[in-house]
Structure 1
Amino acid sequence: MDSTYRHADLTVDQQHALLTAARTLAEEFAGIFGTETIERFLHTSYDQFAGRAVIANYLPLLAERFARQRLRALARVEGKDDAGVPIVLFLCVHNAGRSQMALGFFAHLAGRRALGWSGGTEPGELINPAVVEVMHERGIDITGEFPKPWTSEIVQAADVVVTMGCGDACPVHPGKRYLDWDLDDPDGKTPEQIRPIRDDIERRVRALLADIGVPAG
């Protein structure tokens, strides 16, 4: 593994963190994916975030988390995932507002009975602080999430893809179930203006859970 991360643009600490992440993922996916696949997914996940200086200190952690999600998706696509729960992918433009609120409600209401992911066609740097605030008002903490892109395996693994304002930039895979939610973009809005959007998203998430047969907790 050591040779994969020896690049001039990585600090010693980042190299060490990525090597540790690779070993962790190798243990988690032992018997499912080999070292080469895990290293490739970790490295390409790192590259997805490397251009955003605002999160430079967290790049290895973000790369590990995103690689884990992508590997889970690939396992589902290749029939190596026996979790048996439905997967819903929420997509918007920056993955900083609407899709994060939807994911927050989905994870909170579905628990372990379903799996939710989110992504953006043009991921932002940070989740909208006003969105974090209004979700906190509902007892849902989304500070652990981060804007991220979507990848082919993630879209393919999803049972339902919910799009919100990304238009033609949203990925289209034949045979996939798509829902398009017409929602205002919370970008630039105050918490007071975002609350109706939040409440609309909650109603839609609850209806979606009922539709796919997942009890809302």
Structure 2
Amino acid sequence: MTSDKPSVLFVCVHNAGRSQMAAGWLRHLAGDTVEVRSAGSEPADRINPVAVDAMREVSIDITGQIPNRLTWDTAEASDIIITMGCGDACPVFPGERYEDWKLTDPAGQPIEVVRQVRDEIRSRVDELLASIEQGR
């Protein structure tokens, strides 16, 4: 890590579902020990309301988050970059650590599917946080 407070960037195409849920989980679980960012290569106008509902069910509020465009500066300033099933739309940026999480896109999916995606993201974020803490 480049500092005492590592930074994690979650990236998906629209920055409206998967990356926002992952950022919400990491903020919730890590508190202020990790700097959390999210972005998209083609950001949507707003966050997926079903993703918001699914996160609300676990007492995490992501309603105030806004989809952001992925920039070189944001990627370059991140220690860990996690892309989420966006293939070629999410280019590889140099970072100390890079991972691609293959996840179902929650866009247009019913709440049951989005809950499964939410829970899979939680599991992956738990593993990510454990590895960050182990690396300190």
- Per the alignment, residue 123 of structure 1 pairs with 43
Letter in 1 for 2:127: A
Which residue is 2:63 aligned to?
A: 143
Aligned amino acid, residue 140 of structure 1: I
Write 1 or 2 for the structure with the bigger share of helix: 1
Secondary structure of the structure 2 residue equivalent to 1:127: coil
Among 177, 181, 198, which residue is 2:118 paired with?
198
User: Between Structure 1 and Structure 2, whose CA radius of gyration is higher?
Assistant: 1
Identity percentage of aligned residues: 53
Q: Distance in 2 between matches of 1:157 and 1:165?
A: 22
User: Partner residue of 1:22?
Assistant: none
**What residue number does 1:41 align with?**
none
Which structure carries more relative contact order (alpha carbon 8 Å, separation 6+)?
2
Counterpart residue type for residue 126 of structure 1? R
The alignment covers a number of residue pairs equal to: 133
Larger fraction in strand: 2
Taking structure 2 as the reference length, the TM-score comes to 0.92
2:7 counterpart of 1:87: yes
The 5 A counterparts of 1:167-206 are 167-174=87-94, 176-206=96-126
List aligned pairs for 1:10-159, cutoff 5 A.
Answer: 84-159=4-79
> In 1, distance between residues paired with 2:94 and 2:15?
23
Q: Which moved more, 1:173-182 or 1:91-100?
A: 173-182
Q: CA deviation at 1:191?
A: 0.9
Shift of 1:175: 5.1
Aligned-residue offset at 1:84:
2.7
Counterpart Cα distance in 2 of 1:175 and 1:197: 26
Mapped contact 1:89–1:160 kept (Cα < 8 A):
yes
CA distance in 1, matches of 2:67, 2:13: 10
Gaps of 5+ in 2: none
TM-score, normalised on structure 1?
Answer: 0.59
RMSD: 1.5
User: Gaps spanning 5+ residues in structure 1: where?
Assistant: 1-78
- Cα 1:175/1:87, change in 2 over 3 Å: closer
1:97 & 1:161 partners in 2: Cα distance? 17
What is the CA-CA distance between 1:151 and the residue it aligns to? Answer: 1.0
